[in-house]
Amino acid sequence: TMLPIVSIVGQSQSGKTTLVEQLIGEFKRRGYRVATVKHACNDFDIDKQGKDTWRYTEAGSDAVAISAPRRLALVKLQDGNDSIDEILRLLGEDFDIIFIEGFHQAHVPKIEVYRKELKKDLRCDPGELKAIVSDDTLEVDVPQFSMRDIPGIAKFIKERIIGKRGDDTLLYVNGSPVILNQFAKQIFANALLGMVSSLKGVTEVRSLEVAVRKKGI
């Protein structure tokens, strides 16, 4: 993904949700636009039986959105695939940082919350572990932060994750991301930006999304 993203992982009851909550507040105070994604192991239902949106889903609609002046909610049926790539595509690009809680299998930067009293090993793949937030000192070669050092953790995320963001080009085919090498990215970006920039009414292009759907599919 071209968006800066960090996954907060750890054992149950380690304090992941509290850390995400505190980081959201810290980045909002700094003027950032923040999105958050929570991974649920079990299915859930935010529709109440008998409500209009519930009735639409029961009637067979594959996705139902409800919009109000200040909030938008989307309920979309899935076929068992809850990959972070599809979720990020639906969220869009209008954010400075995305926090996800869980998604241990996602190949994204991870910060693990470790609590000494749980007496369990680290869960994270060492290759994706960027930092540890703990009430203990561990023999691991990554930066470690106290659970109270929210400004320090936020500074680390800003410098190591947000600070590395650059221009990027993404391609999704049938909802799945396709890996592009640097040459292909350059071709796509230059061609699309060149065409769009020449269109009447288009001023500065900060981001560009194109969707093509074949007829009859």
Question: How far is the C-alpha of 35 from the C-alpha of 100, rounded, in Å?
Answer: 8
Higher pLDDT, 88 or 31: 31
Higher pLDDT, 57 or 1: 57
Q: Stretch 168-188: mean pLDDT, rounded?
A: 74
Higher pLDDT, 200 or 122: 200
Tokens of 192: 């699309």
- What's this model's pTM, rounded to 2 decimal places? 0.71
Confidence of residue 1 (pLDDT cuts 50, 70, 90): very low
Please name every residue paired with 75 in a beta bridge, in sequence order, or none if there are none.
64
Tell me which residue of 1, 18, 6 sits closest to 111, measured CA to CA. Answer: 6
pLDDT tens digits, 95-132 = 889 999 977 778 888 999 988 888 787 777 777 889 99
Tell me which residue of 104, 90, 93 sits closest to 2, measured CA to CA. Answer: 93
Q: In terms of DSSP bridges, do strands 5-10 and 72-76 run parallel, antiparallel, or are they unpaired? A: unpaired
**Predicted pLDDT of residue 18:** 94
Does residue 13 carry a pLDDT above 80? Answer: yes
Q: Stretch 4-26: mean pLDDT, rounded?
A: 92
Question: How far is the C-alpha of 43 from the C-alpha of 34, rounded, in Å?
Answer: 25
Question: How far is the C-alpha of 96 from the C-alpha of 181, rounded, in Å?
Answer: 24
Residues 6+ apart with CB under 8 A from 21: none
